[in-house]
Amino acid sequence: MKSSTSTAFRRQFAELDPEVRRRATKQFRLWLEDHWHPSLHFKRVGPYWSARVDRDHRALGVENDGKIIWFFIGKHDEYERRI
């Protein structure tokens, strides 16, 4: 499955702590290799797709023509408000 990121996602990513950015990059690379790797917790949540960055951070995307468009990355409490 292919993916891209929204402008908002890229802005949110840039504002993350450097260690969280490193983990997010690692998880994204893992997602490219195996969407269903257990550490990703990649799943459908209502109209969105969710992926785990770490214990406290998640990413959200929408599927469009077989492609995930990531639009949010941030803390779990903000993620909960969005879903």
- Residue 73 in contact with residue 53, Cβ under 8 Å? yes
Domain ranges in the chain are 2-82
Is the CATH code 2.60.40.1930 the one for domain 2-82?
A: no
Q: H or E stretch including 26? A: helix 18-33
pTM: 0.93
Signed CA dihedral, 62, 68, 22, 58: sign only: positive
**Confidence (pLDDT) at 1:** 83
The single residue listed with the structure tokens 């917790």 is 41
pLDDT band at 64, cuts 50/70/90? very high
Per-residue pLDDT of 20-44, as tens digits, reads: 999 999 999 999 999 999 999 999 9
Phi/psi of residue 81, nearest 5 degrees: -65, -30
